[in-house]
Amino acid sequence: MRYVMGIDVSTTGAKALLVNEAGDVICAVNTPLTLSTPRPLWSEQDPKEWWSATVTSIAGALERSGVRASDVLAIGLTGQMHGLTLLDRDGNVLRPAILWNDQRTGQQCDEIRARVGRSRLIAITGNDALAGFTAPKILWVRENEPEVYARVRHILLPKDYVRYCLTGTFATDKADAAGTLLLDLKTRAWSAEILEALEIPADWLPETFEGPQVTGAVTPQAAGETGLLAGTPVVAGGGDQSAQAVGVGAIRPGVVALTLGTSGVVFVSTEAPVYEPEGLLHAFCHAVPGRWHLMGVMLSAAGSLRWYHDTFAPASDYDELLAEAAEIPAGCEGLFFLPYLTGERTPHPDPLARGAFIGLTIRHGLVHMTRAVLEGVAFGLRDIFELIRQVGVAAMEEVRVSGGGSRSPVWRQILADVLGVELVTVNTTEGAAYGAALLAGVGAGIWPDVEAACRATISVTGKTAVDAEQHQRYERYYPAYRQLYPLLAPWFHALEH
């Protein structure tokens, strides 16, 4: 039997996943990572810990599975996007990596818009300047840590530092590169215009590759540390969301990936570069060669339910809590929940947005509030779907739902009824790491292309059809939900003064 490995360097852990050529998961080992917040709104990690945790996970997966290193044909990489990793000319880390959820760069985002022009920036990169992206972090280091900036010779994304440790090569995939705000979305190459405007040397950036392309091979030193075989090919892989989409088979127009995790992500593939004119959606390259995607992110999806459970019903079992909510009529008799507990990104890019229960009466009890949370998240995801429809992409024929929240049949039904589309679940549950493994399999020749890999390994396991009567009820409530943020936004902002 032959195997491939997917490595996922997330914010919380480094996972190594072994998959056989039939697509079966043989072993998964995850090693936790620590997160540093040295100041309010700052978020950093030590890149060297990414590597040590990856070493532990790879060695553990090989040992637990009994798979011989010589039977691992290729390795694919995925991980958290946007993080800034700075190396000197000898490949030494210069400072802790600044992560995707770091919020220190508001001033630098304004500077980027001023230097490039906001509309021109969106036209080239597909995105507006956001604090989470890589480019504003580079400017922040230049302006605030000039002694560090003077020594920079290489800029890498998180998973690509692990690639460097594995192979000694400086490389990235086009999907992850698109999240830096430095890539030309149409040409799938670094933008000379953006780099010149921001005065960032082009030779600091790694070469870009399509997701299944081989970027290097495991070095003897890395082999000694991990237990892998020296010379094992390492493919480009993809940023976490594009790899997640590969892992559930959302690789062609019409198939949508809906991830109901702590945050909520709506991901739709496109055959050409498409962007939302105001930058309200993310537009990135896909890990699938020659494809792109649009993505919307709500910051507190299943995170809203976790907050609600821990705050109001900590003694209750989640299944019991949600089963009771199924008995409450759609619309909760006029009770709404705004899920902006940690601000919001799509469609309202507002870090000052707040959560709220609106419409409470003496008739409402805890069970009404539970259902209102589920519906509020569903309405928020509907906002993203509506924005994607406005851009004019292909009809959304099938929505593949994954993530912890998707395990609830009650929540799946509410989502289907609010969105007005059938939801399906699939047999794969390892998400981005599984997608990275499939990309490795394509690179190794197990499958001829990504489409074939997904056809061979991913199947639909369940469907949640739309209840037409419930959908019509939500069609009456949704316009009222949409009015709430514009009405309350001035008050949210006033609270910060």
Q: List, for residues 154-182, the tens digit of each pLDDT value.
A: 999 999 999 999 999 999 999 999 999 99
Choose, from 102, 173, 240, 383, the residue flagged as catalytic: 240
In sequence order, what E strands does 223-366 have? 233-235, 238-239, 255-260, 264-270, 282-285, 292-298, 336-338, 356-358
Of 485 and 393, the one with more pLDDT: 485
Average pLDDT over residues 80-88: 97
Please report where in the chains the tokens 């056989």 appear, as a residue: 20
Check residue 469 and give its pLDDT.
Answer: 96
Low-confidence winner among 8-17, 94-103, 123-132, 385-394 (lowest mean pLDDT): 385-394
pLDDT of 203 > 80? The answer is yes
Domains of the chain: 3-236 (3.30.420.40), 249-497 (3.30.420.40)
Q: List, for residues 274-316, the tens digit of each pLDDT value.
A: 999 999 999 999 999 999 999 999 989 999 999 999 999 999 9
- State pTM to two decimals: 0.93
Check residue 429 and give its pLDDT.
Answer: 87
**Average pLDDT over all residues of the chain:** 95
301, 264 Cβ separation under 8 angstroms: yes
Of 261 and 26, the one with more pLDDT: 26
Check residue 135 and give its pLDDT.
Answer: 98
Instruction: Give the CA-trace dihedral at 187, 188, 194, 199, to 10 degrees.
Output: -130
Average pLDDT over residues 71-88: 97
pLDDT confidence bin for 495, thresholds 50/70/90: confident
Instruction: Give the CA-trace dihedral at 320, 323, 324, 328, to 10 degrees.
Output: 160
Q: What is the DSSP track for 304-339?
A: HHHHHHHHH-TTS-HHHHHHHHTTSPTTGGG-EEE-
Check residue 497 and give its pLDDT.
Answer: 60
Q: List, for residues 23-57, the tens digit of each pLDDT value.
A: 999 999 999 999 999 998 899 999 999 999 999 99
pLDDT of 133 > 90? The answer is yes
Average pLDDT over residues 331-357: 93
pLDDT of 68 > 70? The answer is yes
What is the distance between the terminal CA atoms of the chain, rounded to a whole angstrom? 63
pLDDT of 472 > 90? The answer is yes
pLDDT of 394 > 70? The answer is no
Instruction: Say whether 240 is catalytic.
Output: yes
pLDDT confidence bin for 352, thresholds 50/70/90: confident
